[in-house]
Structure 1
Amino acid sequence: MPTMKDIAKLAGVSTSTVSHVINKTRFVSDEIAEKVNAAAKQLNYAPSALARSLKMNRTKTIGMLVTTSTNPFFGEVVKGVERSCYHQGYNLILCNTEGDSERMRASIDTLLQKRVDGLMLMCTTLEGEHLDEFERYPDIPVVVMDWGPMVNGSDKILDNSFRGGYMATQHLIDCGHQRIGCITGPLNQHQAKSRYEGYQKALSDAGLQQHPEWVVESNFECEGGFAAMNQLMEGDSLPSALFVSNDMMAMGAINAAAELQISVPEQISIIGYDDIRIAQFMTPSLTTIHQPKYRLGKAAVEALLAKLQNPESAPQIIQLEPTLIERKSVKVLR
């Protein structure tokens, strides 16, 4: 396997000059750089990533922990993370926690032992947990992407879930609906609770009565939306519209309504949350609240790299704002 010494000999320069050309650590004239690069190509030289990481104290690798879910929302966020890492010259190691705190801790240990330069956490079912593991690695920057455990001193990327919940409910009100129900996510999770509180505030501001029998707590998955819709159908009365706290549950709710021969939006209107890609291809296409998923991933990478450049900087909170996407699942009442 060729070394820098071999390149130096072939190019007729010093080993340190070869190092400066390959690692771009000091200016070298174009003529000499050309000689070195030609020699490296002739010898099929490949620089050692391990050697470089030991010398630079950087591995150019970022670790990310995410809860496994059928929800494509997470896949779309990871796509933003991966593409941003690629453009910045970083590699990404992705670990699934499966919603298990022990597995998450084991994954964190593994990533830290592999000397990743930083970590991103997006672990829904472990939200709010405190992690002592990071106290052993105080120099490793951490970015928490809203759905994540508590890490002191970490940067946080948040979506304004309260505003999104308010916006979704207000749209139903603007379309003439007054009898509005809600399928929430698990209310022990920050985003589910915030979206539900946004729904409550919009009803309150409009002077509309809240009906507890039209509120069902579920699990952010299709099956949960399906079961929640069936539960609502068993009640004495139905709302004219539903705010469903994510698109996956909205898909399940629409499927349950179809099986019960309840027409959406003619008999019940539905608005979702997230704007996953498949939402536009549902029948009817889903009116929803758009989360900037790609930007969420990109912002997390940028925050982490900024922390690597300036480790002493104060923790920052970056909040991304939701927007309304109107499609065909909400009926305008005349």
Structure 2
Amino acid sequence: MATMKDIAKRAGVSTSTVSHVINKTRYVSDEIAARVNQAAKDLNYSPSALARSLKMNRTKTLGMLVTTSTNPFFGEVVKGVERSCYQKGYNLILCNTEGDDHRMKESINTLLEKRVDGLILMCSALEGEHIDAFDRFPGVPVVVMDRGPVHFACDKIQDNSLLGGFMATNYLIECGHREIGCITGPLKIHQAYMRYEGFKKAMTNAKLPINPAWVAEANFECDGGVDAFEHICQRGPLPSALFVGNDMMAMGVVNAAHARGIRIPQDLSIIGYDDIYIAKYITPPLTTIHQPKHRLGTAAVEALVNRLDKHKTDAQVVHLEPTLVVRDSVREYIA
């Protein structure tokens, strides 16, 4: 394998000059640079990524942790992260926590030991956790995505879930609905809690009562939507509309309603949250709140790169605003 010394001998220059040309650390005349580059090409020289990372103290690699889920939401966010990493010249190491706190901490430790330049974390188990590895690897920038309070220094990229929950419920109210229920995600998760708070705020502003029989907590998955809807059905007459805390649960509700002969939206209007890719392909196409998932991923990478390039010093929280997507699962209600 060719070395810089071999290139220097062939080009008739010093080894330090070859290093400056290869690493672009100092100006070298065009004529000499051309000789060095041609010699490197002739010798099939390939610079060591490891050696370069040790010299520059950067590996050009980011690590990302996500919680296992059947929800395509996570895949769409990861796609945004991967695309942004590629565009900025970074590699990405992706780890799956399987929802396990111990595995999450072990994965963080492993990524830091592999000298990643920064971490993107998207794990509900982070909330309220102290991560010992951050004490042993100070200075590694961290971005937490789509989660609530954490006990370590980081930037945060979040959707405005309070506004999104309010928008969803307010749209149902604008469509004439007065009897409105809500299926939430796990309320210990910040985003689920804030969406529910948005629901309550819209109901309060419209002076509409919240019927506890029409409120159920579930797990952000399709089966959770089915179970929560069955519980609501068992409590008595249904509301005319439901705000469901994410699209996966909403699809479970649509499935369970169909099994009971309940027509969507003729008998029950449903609005979801996230606007995952398949939401527009179910029957009926789902009215929902759009989260800018690719932008969520892109913003996380941008926050890390800005911190690595010392463009940012203070911790920041970036809020990405939700938007309403109207399809066919909500109807105008006339009493």
Fold agreement, TM-score > 0.5: yes
- What letter matches 1:193 in structure 2? Y
Rounded to whole Å, the distance in 2 between the matches of 1:137 and 1:85 is: 22
CA 1:312–1:290: 2 relative to 1, 3 Å: closer
- Tell me which amino acid in the other structure corresponds to 2:248: M
| Aligned-residue offset at 1:147 | 2.4
Q: Once the two structures are superposed, what CA deviation does each residue of 1:163-204 show, in whole Å capped at 9, x if it has no partner?
A: 000000000001111110000000111111100010011011
The structural deviation recorded for 1:10 is 1.6
Counterpart CA distance in 2 for 1:240 and 1:312 is 48
Range with bigger deviation, 21-30 or 181-190: 21-30
- Which digits, 9 at most, give the CA deviation of each residue in 1:273-329, with x for residues without a partner? 000001111111111000011111111111111111228811111111100011111
Q: Secondary structure at the match of 2:181?
A: strand
Once the two structures are TM-superposed, the CA of residue 21 in structure 1 deviates from its matched residue by 1.6
Question: Structure 1 102/149 Cα, relative in aligned 2: closer, same or farther at 3 Å?
Answer: farther
Q: Is the 8 A contact 1:131 1:150 kept in 2?
A: no
Question: Is contact 2:126–2:150 with CA below 8 Å preserved after alignment?
Answer: no
**Aligned: 1:53 with 2:53:** yes
After TM superposition, give the deviation of residue 258 of structure 1 in Å.
0.9
SS in 1 for 2:283: coil
AA of the residue aligned to 2:325: I
Q: TM-score, normalised by structure 1?
A: 0.97
Aligned pairs for 1:1-334 (under 5 A) are 1-147=1-147, 150-310=150-310, 313-334=313-334
Alignment partners' CA distance in 1, 2:37 and 2:61: 26
Percent sequence identity is 68
The one-letter amino acid of 2:255's match is N
CA shift, 1:29, in A, is: 2.5
Between Structure 1 and Structure 2, how many residues are aligned? 334
Query: Residue 216 of structure 2 contacts residue 228 of structure 2 at CA under 8 Å; is this kept in 1?
Result: yes
Q: Contact between 2:183 and 2:228, CA under 8 Å: does it hold in 1?
A: yes
Deviations for 1:240-287, whole angstroms, at most 9, x for unmatched residues? 000000000011110111111111011101000000001111111111
Which 5+ residue runs of structure 1 have no aligned equivalent? none
Q: Secondary structure at the match of 2:73?
A: helix
For 1:250 and 1:290, locate their aligned partners in 2 and report how far apart those are by CA, in whole Å: 14
TM-score, scaled to structure 2 = 0.97
| 1:97-145 residue CA offsets vs partner (Å, 9 max, x unmatched) | 1111111111111111111111111002443322222111111111111
The answer as to whether partners of 2:306 and 2:312 remain within 8 angstroms in 1 is: no
Distance 2:205 2:229 in 1: 26
Residues 5/317 of structure 1: CA separation in 2 closer, same or farther (3 Å cut):
same
User: Please, which moves more after superposition, 128-137 or 310-319?
Assistant: 310-319
After TM superposition, where is structure 1 displaced by more than 6 Å over at least 4 residues in a row?
Answer: none
Q: Which moved more, 1:216-225 or 1:310-319?
A: 310-319
> Which piece of structure 1 moves more, 193-202 or 6-15?
6-15
SS of 1:187 mapped into structure 2: coil
Q: Is the 8 A contact 2:148 2:189 kept in 1?
A: no
